[in-house]
Amino acid sequence: MDDFVTVLTVSYPQQLWIIKSRLEAEGIVCFAKDELTVQSNNLWSNAVGGVKLQVQREDVDRALEILTELGYRKEESGESEDLLTRIDKRTLSIPLLGILKVTTRIYTVAIIATVLITAISYIIIKPSKENVLTSKMWLLDNIYYNNKPIIVDSLAEAPVSFSDNNSILFEGVNRKMISGKWKINGDVMELHSDTLMNILNGSYKIDMSERELTLKSATTTIVAHRN
């Protein structure tokens, strides 16, 4: 049936009897798709998208002319009906989608496309970990070594800054200014500090959002945030 094209869709088979007779009188071979399904139970008509009157591709133009003469088709609607027919044919063989009405298929495909485009766009425009780290200064909540906190030397949160040249600066940790270097490899940050090396140096797993940052190594956890 790949050479057959839908030229008219109706709710019930009997609506096609006169039309088929006229087309066949003109020598046009007709096929009523889903006719037997709807005959067995009229309630299934909406589920299968109605009964489709189909003709061979080379007879489409003449069939549409006859349908227009009989008042079953408006001339100006030809392009939209042809588009709907093409969509019907292209999506009919898609698993799960093919059992749906053509209009439902269109909505479903549109939703799927929108979700895919949104996901791809998010992946493309999503800032890198480096950009998130360096875009603004962080505020250190605390550093935990072997699950014990290293008290921040202030009632206010101590600033932590990650620079574009891979330098890191902790301010106010036990009255010390701590500097070092950082580098990200995938989901791991390598941190090398100039002081408190036994505590801070190591490989850290990164858990980060726009406002929350947790760096966790085998012995040390660094927790920070920003407003």
Grade residue 79 by pLDDT with cuts at 50, 70 and 90.
Answer: very low
Helix (H) or strand (E) holding 51: strand 51-56
- Residue type for position 214: T
Give Dmax (Cα) for the chain: 100
Mark residue 177 as left, alpha or beta (left: phi above 0; alpha: psi -120 to 50; beta: remaining).
beta
- The predicted model scores a pTM of 0.47
CA–CA gap between residue 146 and residue 219 (Å, rounded): 5
Structure tokens at 146: 């072997």
Domains and CATH numbers, the chain: 4-91 (3.30.70), 129-225 (2.40.128.280)
pLDDT in tens, 197-217: 999 999 999 999 888 999 999
CA–CA gap between residue 129 and residue 29 (Å, rounded): 64
pLDDT in tens, 102-119: 778 778 888 888 898 888
